[in-house]
Amino acid sequence: MVIAADPLLLGPVDLEVFLIVLLKVVVSFALLMVSVMLMVWFERKLISDMQNRIGPDVAGPWGILQTLADGIKLFFKEDLIPENADRPVFKLAPYLSLVPAFLVFAIVPIGGDFRTGDGTVGWFGHRTFLQVADPPMGILLFLALSSVAVYGVMLAGWSSGSKYPLLGSVRASAQMISYEAALGLAIATVFLTGGSLSTHEIVSSQSNWNWNVATTGVVPFLIFLVAGTAELNRPPFDLVEAEQELVGGFHTEYSSIRFALFFLAEFMNVITMSAIAVTLFLGGPDGPILVERVAWLWPILWFSLKLSAFLFTFVWLRATLPRIRYDQLMDLGWKVLIPLALGWFLLVAALNVGRDRGWSPVPVVLVSVAVLWAGTAMLGGAVRKARAERRALEFGSDEALDAGNGA
């Protein structure tokens, strides 16, 4: 079994190779920590700009060290564990949240020239990918880890021994599990066009402006954005920690460094989700190399630029949109996003099969659209019928039931 297609690991693994891998791990860890620090600052600064406030401006130039100051403060605060808490689980939960957030970043290629080369860079006489690991199951690792992160949130609320965290964690698990389906289906469309699960292969297939955002049609990208925002529990889908209803949600009972870990994981997830979105839909580090002398720098620069655009969008969403209601959240997830993602996936699959078989694209599109339309109509009918029956149960009216049957 090939653990990784990285040319670095194809030859004999000696001490030098081991040290290079270790260096990559350390660098990506440090990079992620620093970018989380900057992200927290960026979010606070940007949202205060959008609200005509000044925002943090005391710690360091433009308040850039504010996160550091907050981290030190949290570190020295008293660490409370509620009396009714399930102690081992309560202590474990923050790490279940944090570790997956770290691990996801390992599969993101942050640089390397995919246009003229094969995406490798020279490091100490070895060719290697600019990503910590490139496992063949690639993006499935991301889906698996983001499912593990649900455990962190769920167990945190469960083990707190308090009602608000419990309600918050129930919401969180329901929300994250429902939106993961739409997220997975949007990603599945990328598998069809990229032809691989490996992130490196997906990025390779997108080089020279052949970005998946266009080749899959914009819809999966938009679904990924919405479902990703819900998966991150960020506004307008932050019902998990809706302050007005649940105090702080699943982390209400957490304080000190344990709270800081949740906080860190949350912002780290924002960055990794953006990085995954860039990798899957915006060609990863793909972009023109403008100055040949520092050719290695440009892919990294393009990647950072795309990443920043996503981070900006997430903050922008938070500044603009009010929180949606819980039933609206579930409606959007189950009745709109999942059917839409599934339908689009089938459409892209039909087109791919048609192209492979040499069928004419026009009848393929027509038949697909007809099938999808029939599916949509049946789904709509089922939703209407269910709604009418529910109304009849609630109000005990046969009239409503008849109306539902007639429709």
The stretch near another protein (CB under 8 A) out of 42-50, 134-142, 349-357, 376-384 is: 42-50
| Minimum distance, C-beta of residue 53 to another protein, in the bound complex (Å) | 5
Count Cβ atoms within 10 A of the Cβ of residue 194 and give its class: 0-12 exposed, 13-18 middle, 19 or more buried.
Answer: buried
Regarding 50 and contact with another protein (CB under 8 A), the answer is yes
- How far is residue 88's CA from residue 111's CA, in Å, rounded to a whole number? 40
Regarding 209 and contact with another protein (CB under 8 A), the answer is no
One residue of 15, 51, 293, 327 binding another protein per CB under 8 A: 51
The stretch near another protein (CB under 8 A) out of 72-80, 199-207, 313-321, 369-377 is: 313-321
| Minimum distance, C-beta of residue 319 to another protein, in the bound complex (Å) | 5
- Map 64-114 to HEC letters: CCHHHHHHHHHHCCCCCCCCCCCHHHHHHHHHHHHHHHHHHHHHCCCCCCC
- How far is residue 347's CA from residue 367's CA, in Å, rounded to a whole number? 10
- How far is residue 270's CA from residue 43's CA, in Å, rounded to a whole number? 11
One residue of 17, 192, 319, 346 binding another protein per CB under 8 A: 319
One residue of 1, 15, 54, 362 binding another protein per CB under 8 A: 54
Nearer to another protein, 186 or 315 (CB): 315
Q: Whose CA is closest to 198, among 131, 270, 112?
A: 131
One residue of 84, 208, 210, 320 binding another protein per CB under 8 A: 320
Q: Whose CA is closest to 219, among 353, 314, 345?
A: 345
| Minimum distance, C-beta of residue 373 to another protein, in the bound complex (Å) | 25
Regarding 52 and contact with another protein (CB under 8 A), the answer is yes
| Minimum distance, C-beta of residue 317 to another protein, in the bound complex (Å) | 8
Regarding 49 and contact with another protein (CB under 8 A), the answer is yes
Cβ atoms 169, 157 nearer than 8 A: yes
**What 3-state DSSP class applies to 299?**
helix
The site that binds another protein (CB under 8 A) totals a number of residues, namely 12
Residue 305, token pair as written in the block: 């630029």
Question: Which residues of the chain form contacts with another protein (CB under 8 A)?
Answer: 46, 49-54, 57, 316, 319-321
